[in-house]
Amino acid sequence: MNSESAGKETGAEQVHWDLSDLYRSPEDPALAEDRKNILLEADAFAGKYKGRIGKLTKAEFLESIREYENIIQKLRKIGSYSHLLWSVNTEDAALGKLVQEANELGSEVNQRLVFYDVEWLKVNDKTANEWIESEELHSYRHYLRVSRLYKDHTLEEGQEQVMSAKSVTGRSAWNRYFDETMGAARFDLDGEKLTQQQVLSKLQGSDRELRKRAHTSMTKTLGEKKRTLTFIFNTLLADKATNDKLRGYPNWISSRNLSNQIDEDSVNALVESVTGHYELVQRYYKLKKELLGYDKLYDYDRYAPILKSEKMISWDEARVMVLNAYSNFHPEMGGIAQKFFDENWIDAAIKPGKRGGAYSASSVTSVHPYVFMNFDGRLRDVQTLAHELGHGVHQYLARKQGELQSSTPLTTAETASVFGEMLVFEKLMENLDDPKEKLSLLTSKIDDTIATVFRQISMNRFEDAIHTARREEGELTTEQFAAKWLATQADLYGGSVELTDEYGLWWSYIPHFLHTPGYVYAYAFGELLVLALYQSYRNGTPEFADRYLEMLGAGGSDWPHNLVGGLNMEIKDPGFWQNGLQIFKQMIEQAEALSLEMVHDN
């Protein structure tokens, strides 16, 4: 442990996951056996079904789906294990090799299996619809319906094999290079060399000068790596443009919308609703500037706490907070979350080489999810824990849908995570009496909501700008990326936050832009949906908790609007987003009222 964390241990330093439910080690004979057998199984599958899909009976097609699903499950198990092991130590070349081997194996298997999708999509619509609606194939109905959406974007078998083969040395390789570059990066701060996660955590502290130095440190290292990061971005933007052109997608976001099972009009309605309410963000930051007593609020001040004293929260305290909130909502939800702690399904320690950020990996439905985070003892880390465990509970409950229908589109994938955050936030607010403490917690939640809704939509606008420019103008310079970043950020903050010139480089460390282009609007979708759901819960909607868990258990077995419709939410209504935005406005009004109450008390 470095001196930066010395004297303030949280108890998370030894919280490491146990991946033995996947494999015992990289040398586990079971891993070697699975790697060998999966190729044999893929060859046997192709030998049995290639050229025959359109001639199968419904019973035979069902048997083929089950065999296909088993192969996919084994492949995901190998890939999950390799990625999880590497993500906590990206500097270990042997683990990087393991990831690359898993990627290459995945490509080989996909090349053997690609005929299956191609032939299924060539089945005429009349026959395909008869199969989809049949009783025999009922359990895979939604998977089959969704797969048909890709009919116009799937190439011939040989072309699909080439696409799969080249992805290993293309997109996958560049993403790995980005992760290893940022995992190995060190940021000089006050004589110490910190990881990205450690230096970013300083921006949430009350010491303004430390925040400023952390901001300078972050910018300096990003500046040193800007040539590499700019090249990676340009390469992956061009790679996506090529793939979209080959597959016939009309624009950069079309493939993401299709995978999210949402139409472009609905996405545009969400984006327009949020950008149309940017003034709420600016209103809040003017209040925060007054609360902090600053003449100007800079970009490094956005997450500053209102109270100067920062109570460090131990891992055990965070665990109790989250489990109590979950259990009070529904005992089954609390019981599942408890498993993550008891059975070591969480990796929370901060250490050199570990990736930044947090996620819940669904792993495979034959095992269970794993939660990844970097716990630093701050209140925001408690919310992150609640967020990722929400994902974990969702993924755990959805396992019964099988490998092909357990995962949800990104639009609804954030529902359980954000709802988990709300449960913890409300519980914390209930236990506070002091207006100052309530205001501090409330502003922290508002900060998070801005980050989840408004900042993500501003980042969607940045993505739109860089994808469009890369396709129309060619390779972009660092300065062009920076200009588009600052412009879309300035639209969000208006004059309420002073953006420094250095902040122009801060697009370059965000992995979502590269790993999952178009992802970010899903955060706003999930947050606004949850604000509306939570309001329904607080209003005492009958059997809400049971129906909510039923929705989670359904996984991706139905259209998002149908799943959410079971909780009386009409997400296809263009005006739906106003509900969540109105609740956010009420949070700001509550903060303003608490601020006035503090002034009156003084």
Model confidence over 467-524: pLDDT tens digits? 999 999 999 999 999 999 999 999 999 999 999 999 999 999 999 999 999 999 999 9
At residue 599, does pLDDT exceed 80? no
pLDDT tens, residue by residue, 401-430: 999 999 999 888 989 999 999 999 998 888
At residue 431, does pLDDT exceed 90? no
C-alpha dist (Å) from residue 541 to 87, 534, 538, 544, 547: 41, 10, 8, 6, 10
pLDDT recorded at residue 256:
96
Q: Which domain holds residue 40?
A: 19-169
Cite the beta strand spans of 64-211 per DSSP E.
187-189, 192-194
Instruction: Read off the CATH number of the domain in which 142 is found.
Output: 1.20.140.70
DSSP state, 400?
Answer: G
Q: Answer for the pair 212, 241: CB distance below 8 angstroms, yes or no.
A: no
Give the C-alpha separation, 263 to 543, whole Å: 31
Residue 567 lies in a domain: no
Give the C-alpha separation, 469 to 475, whole Å: 8
Q: Answer for the pair 396, 403: CB distance below 8 angstroms, yes or no.
A: no
Residue 346 lies in a domain: no
Least reliable range by pLDDT among 155-164, 283-292, 499-508: 155-164
Segment 242-251 mean pLDDT: 96
For residue 90 the two structure tokens come to: 């990206």
Give the C-alpha separation, 316 to 381, whole Å: 12
Give the C-alpha separation, 177 to 191, whole Å: 28
Segment 306-326 mean pLDDT: 89
pLDDT tens, residue by residue, 255-283: 999 999 999 998 999 999 999 999 999 99
The amino acid at 327: S
pLDDT tens, residue by residue, 496-510: 999 999 999 999 999
For residue 467 the two structure tokens come to: 């994808």
The secondary structure of 8-69 as a DSSP string is ---S-TT----GGGT-S-TT-HHHHHHHHHHHHHHHHHHHHHTTTGGG--HHHHHHHHHHHH
For residue 170 the two structure tokens come to: 């293309």
- How would residue 378 be classed by pLDDT, with cut points 50, 70 and 90? confident
pLDDT recorded at residue 493:
97
For residue 557 the two structure tokens come to: 């077995």
pLDDT tens, residue by residue, 7-54: 479 999 999 999 999 999 999 999 999 999 999 999 999 999 999 999
Q: Answer for the pair 334, 327: CB distance below 8 angstroms, yes or no.
A: yes
At residue 3, does pLDDT exceed 50? no
Place of tokens 């953006």: 499
pLDDT recorded at residue 600:
60
Give the C-alpha separation, 54 to 52, whole Å: 6
**Phi then psi for 510, rounded to 5 degrees?**
-85, 110
Q: Answer for the pair 515, 175: CB distance below 8 angstroms, yes or no.
A: yes
DSSP state, 516?
Answer: S
Residue 118 lies in a domain: yes
Residue 44 lies in a domain: yes
The amino acid at 484: K
- How would residue 311 be classed by pLDDT, with cut points 50, 70 and 90? confident
Q: Answer for the pair 78, 35: CB distance below 8 angstroms, yes or no.
A: yes
Give the C-alpha separation, 219 to 212, whole Å: 11
Is residue 558 packed enough to be buried (19+ CB in 10 Å), middle (13-18) or exposed (0-12)?
Answer: buried
Q: For residue 363, list its beta bridge partners.
A: none
Strands 187-189 and 359-361: unpaired
At residue 146, does pLDDT exceed 60? yes
* Average pLDDT across the chain, whole number: 94
Across 393-427, b (16+ Cβ under 10 Å) vs e yields bbbbbbbebbbbbbbbbbbbbbbbbbbbbbbbbbb
Q: Answer for the pair 321, 382: CB distance below 8 angstroms, yes or no.
A: yes
pLDDT recorded at residue 1:
33
Residue 544 lies in a domain: no
Residue 97 lies in a domain: yes
Give the C-alpha separation, 140 to 402, whole Å: 9
Q: In sequence order, which residues have a C-beta less than 8 Å from that of residue 146 and are 6 or more positions away?
A: 261
DSSP state, 399?
Answer: G
How many domains would you assign to the chain? 1
Percent of the residues in the chain that have a pLDDT greater than 70, as a whole number: 98
Give the C-alpha separation, 175 to 5, whole Å: 30
The amino acid at 15: V
Phi-psi region of 517 (alpha: psi -120 to 50; beta: other; left: phi over 0): beta
Nearest 10 degrees: Cα torsion 524, 525, 528, 529:
-160
pLDDT tens, residue by residue, 536-574: 898 888 899 999 999 999 999 999 999 999 888 888 887
- How would residue 2 be classed by pLDDT, with cut points 50, 70 and 90? very low
pLDDT tens, residue by residue, 73-101: 999 999 999 999 999 999 999 999 999 99
pLDDT recorded at residue 434:
84
Angle, in degrees to the nearest 10, between helices 226-247 and 455-473: 80
At residue 602, does pLDDT exceed 60? no
Residue 162 lies in a domain: yes
Residue 107 lies in a domain: yes
Q: How far is CA 39 from the centre of its chain?
A: 31
